[in-house]
């Protein structure tokens, strides 16, 4: 896969995630960085897999609850199990607006969605909610006077504290109608050792989006203004799990938290 923007020279978090999920929209530099992390941090791929499974369970739960509009912030490179695939399998009329800043992710998504009238991709910076919500791919597809699900899946850890991720989520929240939902997942350090955390940071510091690991309490604080639904902010595999037979130790190896919250009448 050639990239006219020269992205082959710098590893990218979204493309590394695609590689961990077995996708093909990544470069040698992404695979090298991802493999370097795996040599010291075997559970680096576990987060990607647990997060993708969490996303599937969340979207199915939302559709079952009557949600038919989705705003996917930092949607990443399209891989198997995308939001529109899951939502439209249950409700063919479901609408999905993807937003990402990474050119490869946007380009590939545009190809994937070319024949899908109920799904769009917008090249934008999610840190500018006003611009995102005004973009044609969002404003012309979603009706924000009706409930919408905002998805912030594996993106908040790419926002440093200086970007005020809680404030960004609040801006999207304030644009949504009562009955809307917010789904989040976030990289944490629930089984990473101090040395492994150091390696993760070193590898991701080479990308344009170094990560900030946060605690369960910090993620909970970002959900202000929402009612957090059961089972609360929890390890990814523990959120309304399928019958997988995993243990609490297995859950910790996901090194990530997730939650679904609902916006009540203001």
- Answer yes or no: is 17 within a domain: no
- Answer yes or no: is 18 within a domain: no
CATH number of the domain residue 241 falls in: 3.40.50.150
- Answer yes or no: is 150 within a domain: yes
pLDDT at residue 4 in the model: 38
* 206-229: average pLDDT: 93
* 178-184: average pLDDT: 98
- Answer yes or no: is 44 within a domain: no
For residue 112, what are the contacts with CB-CB under 8 A and spacing of at least 6?
Answer: 78, 82
Domain coverage including residue 164 = 50-262
pLDDT at residue 7 in the model: 53
Output the pTM of the full model.
0.90
At 40-81, the pLDDT tens digits run 888 888 999 999 999 999 999 999 999 999 999 999 887 778
Domain count, the chain: 1
Quick check: 16 and 23 in contact, CB under 8 A? no
pLDDT at residue 172 in the model: 98
At 80-127, the pLDDT tens digits run 789 999 999 999 999 999 999 988 889 989 999 999 999 999 999 999
- Answer yes or no: is 140 within a domain: yes
DSSP string of 175-213, one letter each residue: TSPTT-EEEEEEE--SS--HHHHHHHHHHHTTSSS----
- Answer yes or no: is 155 within a domain: yes
* 148-168: average pLDDT: 97
- Answer yes or no: is 196 within a domain: yes
- Answer yes or no: is 141 within a domain: yes
pLDDT tier, 244 (very low <50, low <70, confident <90, very high otherwise): low
């Amino acid at each position: 896969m050639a990239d006219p923007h020269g992205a082959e020279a710098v590893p990218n978090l979204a493309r590394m995630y695609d590689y961990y999920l077995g996708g093909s929209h990544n470069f040698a530099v992404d695979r090298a960085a991802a493999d370097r992390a795996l040599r010291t941090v075997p559970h680096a791929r576990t987060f990607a897999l647990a997060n993708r499974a969490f996303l599937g369970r969340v979207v199915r739960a939302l559709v079952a609850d009557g949600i038919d509009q989705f705003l996917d912030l930092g949607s990443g490179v399209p891989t198997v199990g995308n939001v529109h695939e899951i939502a439209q399998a249950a409700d063919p009329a479901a609408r999905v607006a993807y937003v990402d800043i990474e050119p490869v992710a946007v380009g590939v998504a545009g190809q994937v969605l070319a024949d899908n009238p109920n799904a769009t991709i917008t090249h934008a910076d999610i840190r500018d909610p006003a611009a995102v919500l005004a973009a044609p791919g969002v404003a012309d597809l979603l009706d924000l006077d009706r409930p919408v699900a905002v998805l912030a899946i594996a993106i908040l850890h790419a926002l440093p504290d200086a970007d005020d991720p809680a404030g960004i989520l609040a801006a999207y929240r304030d644009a949504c109608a009562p009955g809307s939902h917010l789904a989040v997942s976030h990289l944490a350090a629930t089984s990473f050792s101090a040395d492994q955390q150091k390696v993760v940071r070193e590898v991701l510091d080479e990308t344009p989006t170094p990560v900030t690991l946060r605690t369960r309490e910090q993620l909970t604080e970002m959900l202000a203004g929402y009612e957090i639904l059961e089972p609360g902010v929890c390890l990814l595999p523990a959120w309304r799990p399928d019958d997988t037979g995993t243990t609490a130790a297995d859950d910790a190896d996901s090194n990530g938290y997730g939650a679904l919250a609902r916006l009540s009448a203001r």
